[in-house]
Amino acid sequence: MSKAGEIYYDIKIRENGYKSQMNKIDKDMDNFAKKGQKASDNIDKINKKNINVKGLDSSIVKVEQFGNMLEKSG
């Protein structure tokens, strides 16, 4: 094979490798977009549900009491 032929095939091999990498990146980006949309949909569902904050309220009181205790001791 001539030197020009070798160079041509080297370029073709690199070009095919580049195209393969770009296709993989495109697929990964599509998958990330789908996962992001799914996460967004799940967050939207959470916003529509009533959340029980009774336990949260009692936890806030406990944290405030702990903070007050630290202030008094410090």
Q: How far apart are CA 51 and CA 53, in angstroms?
A: 6
- Please give the structure tokens belonging to residue 56: 């949260």
Max avg pLDDT among 18-22, 50-54, 58-62: 18-22
Res 54 pLDDT > 80 = no
Q: What is the pTM of this model?
A: 0.45
Q: How far apart are CA 31 and CA 36, in angstroms?
A: 9
Q: Collapsing DSSP states into helix, strand and coil, what is residue 74?
A: coil
Q: In this predicted model, what pLDDT tens digit does every residue of 30-51 receive, in sequence order?
A: 888 888 888 888 877 776 777 6
For residue 11, the number of C-alpha atoms closer than 13 Å in the C-beta half-sphere is: 6
- Domain spans in the chain, listed from the N-terminal domain onward: 3-73
